[in-house]
Amino acid sequence: MERTRKPVVRGWFTEDDGAEGGFRLLGTRCTACGSVFFPREDAYCRDPRCAGGGELAEVPLSPRGRVWSYTDGRYRPPAPYVSDPAAPWEPYTLVAVELEAERMVVLGQTVPGVGVGDLAVGMEVEVVPGVLDQDADTTWTTWRFRPVAGQR
Ligand SMILES: [Zn+2]
């Protein structure tokens, strides 16, 4: 049976992989001061320098950025972290990516197979669609970061 693809968090990234411009994270931009927020801020501008009064418009974020920092999680965190102790712990690699145009850092996991040994600060990475989890009828989609080919 075909699983339904559902975003882990609705509105944080494009759901149509074939969308114009490709897969993108979605943030919001204050029309008054130009500040960009991710995770998206839909209530009010959080920039303390902003005079206010602007609307928050959805904007796709830059498809590429540079590695700002990274780490991995090889062990199950202690309580109060919630996880199923019977399920195998799957190591993951977390990367902080600086988006130059937005002047912000966003977090995400790398694509499967890319670990800390494959990353370096300043390396260019791109955002790609990924799968977080799946059950009998749903594939939960997310975003991942992948080094741009042809570096080093
Ligand atoms: Zn603002």
More confident residue, 56 or 76: 56
**Per-residue confidence (pLDDT) for residue 20, from 0 to 100:** 65
Residues 99, 62 contacting (CB under 8 angstroms): yes
State the pTM of this model.
0.86
> Order of strands across the sheet with 36-37?
36-37, 26-30, 56-60
Residues comprising the chain, all counted: 152
**Sign of the C-alpha dihedral, residues 115, 15, 66, 48?**
negative
Q: Sorting pLDDT into bands at 50, 70 and 90, what band is 83?
A: confident
Residues 101, 78 contacting (CB under 8 angstroms): no
Q: For residue 152, is pLDDT > 70?
A: no
CA of 103 to the centre of ligand 1 (A): 14
CA of 142 to the centre of ligand 1 (A): 28
Residues 16, 5 contacting (CB under 8 angstroms): no
CA of 35 to the centre of ligand 1 (A): 6
Q: For the segment 110-134, what is each residue's pLDDT rounded down to a tens digit? A: 999 999 999 999 999 999 999 988 8
